[in-house]
Structures are given as C-alpha cells and as structure tokens.
Structure 1
C-alpha cells in the first residue's frame, strides 16, 4: 500500500501548535506518557494471551526498551505488546478528535501555573502527542500481534501525517522522537543522556510491572561500546500494593496514582486494604484532590484497575465501586478470581460484590476519619466530591447512615461554616422537632428568599441546599436521628411564640378579617393557584408562593421534565403577610370599594412578585411588566 498523507482536523492542528510552542518547565512528562502507553500495550497482550485470543502472539519476553542515538539525536521507546492495526493507527494516533480536543485546547490556554498545564496532558488522552514538546518529528512503527504486516505513522506536528504499510515490523510498537537541537532555547535536558533517562524512569515509572530496559549506546562506527554491552533494567517492577507500608514512600504512592489516573497533582488521600481469610485480596486506592472536568458526563470512565495474582485484567472495573464513588482511582489485586473473568461475569460474582461492600465501607470510614483528624483535607474533599457522594443517598440504602454521617451542608448557623446533620441536631432549639432546609440555585438566592424570614427572626437554623441532587435525596431520606427533614417552602409553618394562646387568638382574628379577601383573590387568580391563605412564615415580604407538604418543588418538576418524564404541573399556594402595609391596604380597599377592577390587577401583581421572589417567572411576563409600569405611573 503506498504512503498516504492526511490532514489533522482544525482543532487537532491548533492543539499540536499549543503543545509544541507552549513553555513547560518540566518536559520530562513526555517519557512518562510513552512508557505508560507501552505498559498498557503489554498488559493487553498478556491478558489476550491468557484468554487464548491471540494464539500466535509472542509473550516469551514482554518488556519495554529505550534507545538513544547521540549523532542522530533520536530517542526510541519500544515495546513488544499488542500493537495496532492500520485502521487503529489512523483512528487512535492519526486523530485527537476522541480525546476532548476542544476542551483540552481551551484549558491548556487557561493553565498558567506549571502543575495545571502538565496535568492536562494525560487527563485528556493526548500523552502520545506530548513528544512534540521535545521533538521536531515523531515516527511510529507498529504491528498488531498475530498480523503479518505493520504500519508506519509519521508527522512533524505541522498539520499533516503520513500512513503506510510495512512488511518487516516486529510485534508491538516503536515510537521514535527526532529530538530538537541540543542548543534549543527550550531544551533544558539532553534526552540522549543515559543519566537523564534513568532519572526520569526512576521518578515516574519505577512501579511499572514490566522491565524497562535502556539499551547500550552505539559508537560512531555503529557497534556497541565494550563497557555498555548489556541492556540495563531501570525499574524495580515491584507492585506497591504487595509491599509493606514501611517499604513504600509517599512519593512512590503518588507516582502510582499519577500513572493510573493521568492526574499531575498529588492525591488527597491514600487508602490501603488487605483482606485475608477465605477470599484474599489487596487494594490500594486514591482519593483525588480535584474533581475531573468530566465527572458528571455520561461517558466518564469510572472504576479501578483489577488484577488477579498481579496479572492485569482490566482498567475501569466498574463493579468494584458504586457509581457515587466513581472518582476513586486505584488497584485491586485478587487472589482467587478466574484470569478469564469478563465484565458480564463480574456483575454476578459474589466475590466481586463482597469486595465492593468492603471497599465502599473502607472509603467512607476514611472520609469520616478525615473529618476529625484532617478537617482541611475533609473540607477539600467535600467541596470537590460532596455533590457526587450525595447520589449514594438515593441508591445505597445499606450505607445511607454512613453517608449521612460524612455529609456536610451550608446553613444559617452563626459561624458560617458547613455543618453536619449531627451538629445541626445538637444546636436545635428547645421544642424544635424538625430539621429545616431550603433548596435553591445559590446560597444568596436562598438567604434572600421570603420563606426564610420567620426562621431568621426567631433564630432557627436552616440548611441551605444548592446541589441539584438535594432536591431529591431530602425526600427519599426523610429523616435523620428521628428528626424529620422539612422544607421551609412546603406546607404550613407554625414556629410557635412565647405566648401560644395569644398567638392563636391573633391568627383567628386575622382569619376572620381577611376571609373575604382571600376567597376573592382565589377567584381572581383562578387555576394559577390552589389556595390563598395567611402566612406565619413572612415578617418582611408581602407574599410568597409555597407548595403543599407532599408536592414536588418546581425545580424537581423541571428536573423530571428534562429527563423526558411527564409531570403534571402542581398548583401552588399563595400566602399573604397580614402585617404588611400592602396587604393591609389591599384588604381595606377590598372592603370599602364596590368597583374592584384595579384591585384585581393589584392581586395579580402581588402573585407575580411572589413568583419572582422564589426565582420563578410570571406566566405572562409582558403583561406583568405592563401592570407594574401602569401602577408606577399612577403613583407619580
């Protein structure tokens, strides 16, 4: 097949130019990425061979080789792993379209600090292209195990690449970087130096389970130097999870995390677990310090790596952790699972289910320990992952109490710090029976809601819930520690007074005084509302809109509709503040006037203002604006 030339897509060309010309203080990450890719290819070949999927594959000496040439200024990373077919090269290497190119390019431009820029490389799956940070040209030669011919890919990173079929390619993949001149302004290290290569591999890839061999350099006449005749293995190849805690440093843990997560930053927490007995396994898990950009997208790859007897089985094993812990990365190495295990079998395997229960409890207990032993780290954890963890309150009834114990929420408590539910209960006033909350889009919108007025006046603490999942879990959970979770925007509120008898008499008197107005307003507003009644939750605002105790909130209705579910719109309740001058004046005018045309408009305005106050919009915004303008004009 003749050599074919292709063009990168526009976004891919922009990305390549960003990577080539952006200034990184640490370009060494390119070697880490190439070695990681080679390690993945070896893992895949080993697994395929164990399953007899590639009977003709050579698995006798799986390894990674690094070779440098001073005169040619080249660096080659070679593996004898599973390799790629011609079509796979075109799809996986020839394009970056599936790697979130546009988002990567945007975030790369915005990343000003060193760690931010470097961390984006592996995160977006473009590690292969990081080679252009140190190379003017890259060449890849690969042959898929079991196939008779290979493929060569080549590019200078300037908008095009070439593909051709080659007949003499060995099994696996070889990536050759034609390095930039040694005297380049941005070339800080000599990547043909054996010392540099050894240092980078030891720092980033010492835990790789396959031998990484540095080949002896060639002399000027092309022969090997006498003092460097043998390849040198650069990595220890020790599985960190199989070593004792005393043998492993924090730096080694962190480098393993970076390798498997493609996150440049250090993890927030490292969790080790060793189970012994009838079923043995080891786990090394990591909680990231930052939520990945695609944590809430449908295509997010979740799960941890699964090994059996230190043999890699699969990435992203979803069955080992519940979806609400999808941000956790790590390794689980089981002793008794079948090497031929499939994803379908995993869903049914009782050992897998047992491991999931144990791992979940261990992670949640670690988070609980952080609350007391490392409050700053806990605060970071909850800020980054609290929203996703609360999803477990809907799906994981077995661990619901543990999840409630580690959850924290913004509230109106005086110190302004997030509170646990247990902390809220400890501060409840004498006689208070419920845990009060209010949901909304932002803390500011909740704090300014009319529903909060009576609670603020009486000093009763209210939880301020702003995550979309909060709309759902409070109804599903229902209570904590025997205390009912109750929205301040639903049902009737009776906060009591120091003199309940006098208060009851006052409410009864107001009820009689306003009864006619309330009935008339219900007729005027018609189907827009279910009821008009006097409010005990308002102290400043003239009116507010509330739901019945068992009704869905408007936000929850919108959420269900967005998911394609039919939800009939619930009629809301309009509450009036009998102590407000506007409401008093409306009542007096209603009782004194026979022509109530203008009062009907005032009633409509009052309802519209209440809708706006809770973040909604009037049914007919144009008419509402005209009514406001007309009333303002008449008041001048």
Structure 2
C-alpha cells in the first residue's frame, strides 16, 4: 500500500449531496425511523451482489458463505452499528457512492422541490433516500468497509458530520463487507434499545431474505437489567416473502416488501403475486409504483432505460435490472421473478438467448396488462382512481407498447386514454372504447388531431366542421402520439383518421347536397386556387377549397400517406432528418379574407397569399421560416386597409 493511498484526505461533497442532506434532516424528520429500513435494505443488496459475483469467483466468499446483516449498539458511546458481510467497497467506490449522487434525474428532482417540508418529503421518498437517511438521527456517520477479494490492509474508513465535507483513509479490516456506525444525536436514545430495534425490523424489514441478527438479551432479575448474551438471535423471518401463500401475506407486508425491492418511500399503486406451474415454474411478484421515478426517460450509457425487475433462481438473487424480463414500455414495473428452471450460474449473455426467459417475459407482460385492465375496467371508484393515477404517471410510457408489442397491441390499445373534444381539460381522458360507444349514427371512423400542446390541439382550425356536426375528435398532444397513430390504424374495426390528413371525408355523415355544393364552390374558385398556388410556389403541394373550416380563413393538411406537419416538427426538434414536408393549403371560400383575396389587385395578391399560408402555419403550432417577412407583410396590409 502506498503512502498516498493510506493518507487521510478531506474531500468536499457534491453540491447535490449537500442539498439532499439538508432536505433529509428538515423534511423527513417526522419519519426518522425509516433510516433503519434504508440501511438494512442496502446491506441486503450488498450481500445479494456478493452472492451473484461469487458464482463466477467463489473465492470472494473468503471461506464465509453465511451472509447476514447485524445490528448492534453501544449505550455508553451512543452508537448504533449496521453491519453486513456482503460485497463491500474499495476506497474509490466509497468516494463514488457516498460522496456523490450519480442517480439519473438529480437535476429534475431538485427543481421539483417546493420548500414545503410535507410535500418535499414525498418527493425525497420518490427520489430514494438510501444511505443519506443516516443523518436524520446521527450527527456523525462512520463507514468502515472492505471489498471482497481485496487484502485486509485495503479497507477504507469514510467519515462525515453531514456538513460540507467528509474524510476518507485506508484502514485494516479483517472481514469483508461494511460497518455503518451512527453517532446518534441528542434525543435519539430510543434507538439504543433492543426492543425498539427489533420492533422496527419486524415493521419494515421482516421480509428481508437474509437473517438480520442481534446479540440475544435476557432479563437478569438480580441486576434488574437486560444482559447481553454471547449468542446471536435472528430478529426477522428471514424467508422469501414471495414463496409464502398469498393468503398468509398482509397488504402491509406486500407494501413493506415493495419499499425494499423498489427503494421507494411511498406505497405501490397495485401489485400481482402469482405462482406459475406447468412446463415452466416460476413466481412473479410485480408492482406498479404510485409515482414515476425521476429517471423514467433517462437512457444510460448503453442507450437503454433502467428497468426494475430483479431475477432470482431458486430464491437466490441473480441480477438487478433484468431487462429481458420486461419490455421497455413496462419499464416502470418493479418487483421480482423467481425461476425454478434456470441454472444458478445464468449470465446476462445466456439470458439473451433463453427460451425460458422468453416464456417468463410473456407471462409477466400478460400478468401486468391483466392487472391494469382490472383497474381500468373496474366498477369500483377506488380502482378507477388508481388507474387515473397510473395513466397520469405512466401513460406516455405505456403508449410505446402499441408499436413495440404486436402480440398485445389490442390489449394495450384498450388501456390507452386520450383527451377529446368531449372533455374540457387535458387531464380528463377517454378510452377508445368510450369514443366508439359515443360515435354518431353513420360514423365509420375514429377522428383525431395531433399537435404540440393540448391548447393547440383543442383550438385547431381542423376541428371546426366536426364541432359544427357534433362529431367527437381525440386531441393528441404527447410526442409519442405520432408513434401511436403510426402503428395503431384501427380499433374495434373502426379505422383511425387524422382530421389534418387527406381530403375531408365524413362518409355517411355528409349528405349529397353538401358534396354537390362543395364541388360547385371548387369550380367557382378554381382560378383563385391556381393563382394562390402560383404565388406560393414550392411552399405548398397544392391549394384547394375546403368545407372543413367555418371560422378560419385557411389551414394546412397533408396528403394521406405524407408525414404530418406535427411529426415533421418533432423530428426536426430532436435533430432527426425529417422527410420533406410539403403541405396542402386549404382555404375557406366563405371567409372575408378569402373573398377579399379573390378580388385583390395583382400588386398585393402575393402578400395576401403568403399571409394566409403563414397564418395557417401559426394556427397549427408551427414556426415561420421568415418571421420578419411575415411582420413586414402584415404591417403593409394593415396600412393599405386603413388607407395610409
């Protein structure tokens, strides 16, 4: 060991850690006992990781394969210690894990905080509290750790008072694993009690598979006090919760296990627990969180988003983040799968080609979709409210499944929710089944409009004739909606039709007189449309008369198989090469501006034509290529109209 490595160093916390520590102490103090749950959960994870790594390197056990978590306290020193003989940390890992927050979504997390302790406590829980919860009850924390496989002389001691910095130095540590020593604040002596610690373990951590041990205590009648014996007792059930019959597991136990497996502070929204028997045997315990994590949209170094299902084989932990167990559009699901058929030495590479995993994945997807259908289609208001919460938090992610999971596309479509002209606000949504049930007699299509925002969709000029006829239109304003309608072409035998694509075809909802009137007007305005097309040149694919407008002078539409204006804008915003977008300009023959244009002199005709086109772009949420030119034309025409 070099002198430089052994030297004691003082390092500064990452700025986000300082913020989190301050918030932890002030916002979570009323829930201070959760620190023990968090530290025990981390210790359990460390043991799971050792067990996984030791499959390929059994020497990491160092002759001790009896994994456990230990609690001990010293009343005189006023310290509480949580120890494990898991994977441990090297010096660099201690600095990286304890001095910084590498979690995705950190910036968004802090920007969401309000300064209200009660509200922020939920956000902090959503972000995850982990190791830093130690400082809720401790004014100093000492961590002594050694990574499995490193020599005893390469242990590390990390220490901090939770202020602006921490120290780190090399120490000797005979056993692998981690000891976290909490130097308790004044007034926290309740955690120096065996009865209190055992109660908290049974309340929060009874489901931990590893034994949580303490030294046994017995009451000494002569001394009138508890005496610590030199023998261990296990204070939790230390059995895999998911292997127990469902009838024996309470809701509180399910919720406590979720908080452990998901590292979440809040209760789950729903869960499903099932044992699958047959050609493949496995157990599923899958949860829907109550809130979306901050890194829901984060794509890591490998370009993939984080998943939350753990894989066990015969109750032995194999891996976190088992991506093959759940498709990307269900990445919000938390929980575990325990297989009886996979080999214990299964690797990530083997998983990629495993038929057993494909079978398990298919079963898990069906189970989750069934759970969501149960909430969505329930007659119980509490279930309906849960589904509304689910949709608010995870709806955009679920929509991805329409294009990703062909086998379950219809089931996913039944779970989708959209705003519509039938509702008043963006968060008031309808299902496709609701829409179909309300379709007018003779209506053959499900109509929708896409836009950048709910307001832009709701106020789209394309809706004018549909409002006039009382036809409901879905208002799609999420970016992913363009992906959805690109893959979902029909529902319940009814084709989906954009109101901004192709010619206006209302089918049986449009009578013969209207069609004849439209043809007659088109003939009357043929010279005008050709003249406008000549003025606009290659900016437009065509110019034609429309009857889809009642109040607006003009709108833009795309040919049936061309890219929509909204999709073209989205692709451009994310830096992708969009197909050439050449819209069709439709003009309203009854609008005063169009009537004025028909009789306009040649000198100002081009300005009027461009103005109609540019207004149509703005009306659908687009951006002008030449805003200054638009302003100049607008000013010139206003002055001409005013006679100045």
Quote how far apart the aligned CAs of 1:526 are: 0.9
Cα pair 2:127 2:264 within 8 Å, conserved: no
1:618 aligns with 2:624: yes
Deviation at 1:107, TM superposition (A): 4.2
Shift of 1:505: 3.3
SS in 2 for 1:425: helix
Once the 2 structures are TM-superposed, how far is the Cα of residue 104 of structure 1 from its aligned partner?
Answer: 4.3
Q: 1:349 maps to what in 2?
A: 354
1:496 CA displacement:
6.0
Does structure 2 retain, via aligned residues, the 8 Å contact 1:411–1:464?
yes
Please show how residues 376-525 of structure 1 align to structure 2 within 5 Å.
376-413=385-422, 417-495=428-506, 500-525=511-536
- The 1:319/1:108 distance shift into structure 2, 3 A limit, reads same
Q: 1:41 pairs with 37, 42, 46, which one?
A: 46
Distance 1:152 1:303 in 2: 31
TM-score relative to the length of structure 1: 0.92
TM superposition shift of 1:398? 0.7
1:53, distance to aligned residue in structure 2 (A) = 4.6
* Partner in structure 1 of residue 237 of structure 2: 236
Which of 11, 15, 26 is the equivalent residue of 2:31? 26
- Give structure 1 stretches of 5+ with no counterpart: none
| Distance change >3 Å, CA 433–CA 360, structure 1 → 2 | same
Note closer, same or farther for the CA distance 1:303–1:345 as it changes in structure 2 (3 Å cut): farther
Per the alignment, residue 579 of structure 1 pairs with: 590
Cα offset, 1:217, TM superposition: 7.5
- Matched residue count: 620
Q: Name the CA shift for 1:96/1:611 in 2 (closer, same or farther; >3 Å).
A: closer
Q: Which residue is equivalent to 1:117?
A: 121
* 1:215 paired residue number: 215
TM-superposed CA distance for 1:344, in Å, is 1.2
TM-score normalised over the length of structure 2:
0.91
The answer to whether the 8 A contact 2:549-2:588 is kept is yes
Deviation at residue 14 of structure 1 after TM alignment: 3.5
Secondary structure, aligned partner of 2:167: strand
User: What is the deviation of 1:218?
Assistant: 12
5+ residue gaps, structure 2, are: 1-5, 220-224
Question: 1:101, CA displacement in angstroms?
Answer: 4.8
Task: List aligned pairs for 1:111-150, cutoff 5 A.
Answer: 112-113=117-118, 116-117=120-121, 120-121=124-125, 123-124=126-127, 126-148=129-151, 149=153, 150=155
Note if contact 1:304-1:328 (Cα within 8 Å) is conserved in structure 2. Answer: yes
> How far did 1:225 drift?
5.7
Deviation, structure 1 residue 290: 1.4
Would you say the 8 A contact 1:66–1:77 is kept in 2?
Answer: yes
- Which of 321, 324, 330 pairs up with 1:319? 324
Pick one of 158, 170, 175 that aligns with 1:153: 158
Partners of 1:98 and 1:386 in 2: CA distance = 23
Shift of 1:87: 1.9
How far apart in 2 are the matches of 1:424 and 1:23? 45
- What's 2:3 paired with? none
**What CA distance in whole angstroms lies between the structure 2 residues aligned with 1:111 and 1:326?**
30
| DSSP-derived class of the 1:34 partner | helix
1:289-346 deviations in Å (ceiling 9; x for gaps) = 2111221111342030111111111111111111100000011110011111111111
**Could you tell me how far apart the structure 2 residues matched to 1:175 and 1:163 are?**
14
- CA–CA separation in structure 2 for the residues paired with 1:499 and 1:174: 77
Partner of 2:199: 199
Counterpart of 2:256 in structure 1 is 255
> What is aligned with 1:268?
269
What is the CA-CA distance between 1:60 and the residue it aligns to?
3.6
Structure 2 Cα separation of the partners of residues 97 and 623 of structure 1: 48
The change in CA–CA distance for 1:257 and 1:409 in structure 2 (over 3 A counts) is same
RMSD between aligned residues: 2.3
Distance 1:99 1:451 in 2: 40
Q: How many Å separate the matches in 1 of 2:115 and 2:485?
A: 38
Is the counterpart of residue 308 in structure 1 residue 308 in structure 2? Answer: no
| CA shift for structure 1 position 13 | 3.0
Q: Partners in 2 of 1:104 and 1:376 — Cα distance?
A: 25
* Residues 394 and 526 of structure 1: CA distance in aligned 2, closer, same or farther (over 3 Å): same
| Distance (Å, rounded) in 2 between the aligned partners of 1:328 and 1:502 | 55
Cα distance in 1 between the residues matched to 2:24 and 2:319: 30
User: Is the CA contact (8 Å cut-off) linking 1:303 and 1:319 kept in structure 2?
Assistant: no
Aligned-residue offset at 1:403? 0.8
Aligned position for 1:558: 569
Contact 2:105 2:294 in 1 (8 A): no
Q: Find the counterpart in structure 1 of residue 539 from structure 2.
A: 528
- Measured after TM superposition, the shift of residue 251 of structure 1 is 0.2
2:84 matched to 1:75? Answer: no
